[in-house]
C-alpha cells in the first residue's frame, strides 16, 4: 500500500527546516529508524553532503537516522532495501536528470508502489506526479524524459502563488502557466500553497494544513478545494 507525504515546501516563512511539519513527519515515520535521503535536487547548488547534513540535523530531533543516497556504491539496492525515503527540494530538472542517469526512476517507483514510505518536499513532491512539467524551476539541465514516478494521478505545482492585485508585476501568474500546460496536456494539476501538504494512504489522498488548494483540469474553470476527490 502506498504511503506518501508530499509537502509544498520544506520551510515556511519564519520557521526552520521542516519545523512546521515536525509532528506530521514524526507520525509519518513512526515505525522507521533510518531514512534514505535523496539529495540530488541540490538547492542553491549545494553539495550532496551538505544537503544530507541539513536533513540529518532535522531528523535527529525526532530520533531518526538519515543516510544520503549519494554515499552508496549500489544506489539501486539502497532504494530497494530502504525503510523509508525522503527526497528534498531544489531544482526538479537536476533531480530528475540524476535519477534517470543513474537508472533509479523505475526502481524508486517500484519501491513506493510496494509500500516504502515516501516523503517529498517541493521538487521531491513534483517527483511523485505523473510528469515534472508543472515545476517552477529553471531548466538548467535537460533530463531524458519529463515523466516522473506517477504515484499520484495528477501533477503538483508546489509553492503555488495567487495573483496579487496590488502588485505592479504584470508577468505570468502560476495559473497562467498551468493553463498553458493544459493546452498540450490533460493531466490534472494541484496548486499546493506554502504550508500545505498531501498525505496518501493507498488510493486515499488527504489535503492537510490550514489552506485550500487550487485544482486545475483541462478545459475547466480552476477551483478551490479542501479535499481531493479524483
Provide the annotated active-site residues.
Answer: 122, 137, 159
In the chain, DSSP assigns E strands to 3-7, 34-38, 65-68, 85-87, 118-121, 155-157, 189-191, 197-201, 204-208, 213-216, 223-225
* Measured distance CA(97)–CA(225) in Å, rounded: 32
The C-alpha cell that represents 158 in the structure block: 508546489
* Angstrom distances, CA of residue 1 to CA of 4, 111, 177, 202: 10, 11, 33, 5
Amino acid at each position: 500500500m502506498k504511503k506518501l507525504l508530499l509537502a509544498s515546501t520544506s520551510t515556511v516563512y519564519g520557521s526552520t527546516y521542516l519545523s512546521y511539519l515536525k509532528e506530521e513527519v514524526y507520525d509519518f515515520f513512526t515505525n522507521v529508524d533510518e531514512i534514505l535521503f535523496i539529495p540530488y535536487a541540490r538547492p542553491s547548488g549545494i553539495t550532496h553532503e551538505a544537503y544530507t547534513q541539513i536533513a540529518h540535523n532535522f531528523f535527529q530531533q525526532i530520533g531518526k537516522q538519515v543516510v544520503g543516497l549519494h554515499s552508496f556504491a549500489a544506489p539501486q539496492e539502497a532504494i530497494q532495501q530502504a525503510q523509508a525515503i525522503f527526497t528534498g527540494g531544489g531544482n526538479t530538472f537536476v533531480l530528475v536528470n540524476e535519477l534517470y542517469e543513474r537508472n533509479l526512476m523505475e526502481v524508486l517507483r517500484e519501491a513506493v508502489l510496494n509500500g516504502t514510505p515516501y516523503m517529498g518536499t517541493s521538487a521531491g513532491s513534483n517527483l511523485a506526479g505523473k510528469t515534472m512539467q508543472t515545476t517552477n524551476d529553471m531548466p538548467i539541465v535537460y533530463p531524458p524524459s519529463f515523466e516522473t514516478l506517477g504515484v499520484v494521478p495528477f501533477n503538483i505545482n508546489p509553492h503555488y502563488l495567487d495573483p496579487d492585485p496590488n502588485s505592479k508585476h504584470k508577468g505570468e501568474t502560476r495559473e497562467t502557466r498551468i493553463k498553458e500546460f493544459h493546452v498540450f496536456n490533460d493531466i490534472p494539476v494541484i496548486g499546493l500553497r506554502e504550508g500545505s501538504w498531501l498525505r496518501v494512504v493507498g488510493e486515499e489522498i488527504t489535503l492537510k494544513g490550514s489552506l485550500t488548494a487550487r485544482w486545475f483540469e483541462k478545459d475547466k474553470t480552476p477551483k478551490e478545494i479542501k479535499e481531493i476527490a479524483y
